[in-house]
Amino acid sequence: MPLLSVPKEVAVGTAMLGVAFATGMLAGRRYPSLGFGTPSGMIGKNSPIRQYILDHSLREHPVLKKLRLLTAEHPWGRMMVSCEQAQLMANLVKLIKAKKVIEIGVFTGYNALNMALVLPDNGRVVACDINEDYAKIGRPLWKEAGVEHKIDLRIKPAIQTLDELLANGEAETFDFAFIDADKENYNEYYEKCLRLIKKGGLIAIDNVFWNGKVLKPRKDDLAAQSIHRLNEKLLRDARVNISMLPVGDGVTLAFKL
């Protein structure tokens, strides 16, 4: 199905992201020191160019910043979505005028908060995780930001929550999904989200570089193998248009046709 068969906002967004990706790759060939073209394709967290990006593009709500700094102190703080990536997700949610969002993998809820802040007052983020202790860190800040009512936290295996949504007749009613949980189940998350997302909706899949390990997945690295298989599948999946972006640890955007 041609790209122009989807809503205008999605078509424009896809084109813009494609140009951004191409520009980044060209920059990487000309200026390898920027971080593009490294095995993982990432700009290092301590790279001066990443700091420049943050200094010149990050617009962070005060409560978001509070949660980010609080999460950074956690022993597993590195699991948090990078702030520039979370801002991109929120901008995409706003671009497609989303009202219903799925997040698989919540951690402390920084990304969920980012998206909830741009949803309309009657919007909803169905936030899936299996660890309530992490979410307890962010929940008070969701309330402080005035968006706690928009975040529907489900503490159970995400596949179970997705099956419940499908059983409740919510197929093709969601606008956006963000997948960032256990990598071995990525394909199943993707397939179920594809059923739940409406035509013209968007699925964002995080960690598609897996720190460069997808280039040559070891036989004992099930996560890298799973992500690599999904990356190959997405390339040929006629149900979506895709852009794989060198943001964070790599994120693929799949626009449902």
pLDDT tens for 156-171 read 999 999 999 999 999 9
3 lies in a domain?
no
| Residues contacting residue 24 through CB under 8 Å, at least 6 positions apart | 36, 245, 246
pLDDT tens across 179-214, in order? 999 999 999 999 999 999 999 999 999 999 999 999
Q: State the pLDDT at residue 28.
A: 38
Q: State the pLDDT at residue 5.
A: 45
Rounded Cα gap, residues 210 and 250, in angstroms: 8
Residues 237 and 124 in one domain: yes
State the number of CA atoms in the 13 A half-sphere of 79 facing the CB. 15
At which of 28, 54, 78 does a domain end? 78
State the number of CA atoms in the 13 A half-sphere of 91 facing the CB. 13
Of 137, 84, 138, give the one whose Cα is nearest residue 116: 138
Residues 24 and 122 in one domain: no
Residues 40 and 70 in one domain: yes
In this prediction, the residues of the chain whose per-residue pLDDT falls under 70 are: 1-42
Residues 174 and 200 in one domain: yes
- Measured in residues, the chain has a length of 257
Residues 35 and 56 in one domain: yes
Residues 172 and 74 in one domain: no
Residues 126 and 146 in one domain: yes
Residues 33 and 92 in one domain: no
At which of 49, 78, 107 does a domain end? 78
Residues 139 and 155 in one domain: yes
Residues 237 and 128 in one domain: yes
Structural domain harbouring 155: 83-256
1 lies in a domain?
no
Q: State the pLDDT at residue 77.
A: 85
247 lies in a domain?
yes
Q: State the pLDDT at residue 37.
A: 32
What CATH number is attached to the domain comprising 89?
Answer: 3.40.50.150
- DSSP characters over 123-145: -EEEEEES-HHHHHHHHHHHHHT
51 lies in a domain?
yes
Longest dimension (CA), the chain: 51
At which of 78, 103, 135 does a domain end? 78
| Residues contacting residue 155 through CB under 8 Å, at least 6 positions apart | 129, 130, 131, 132, 135
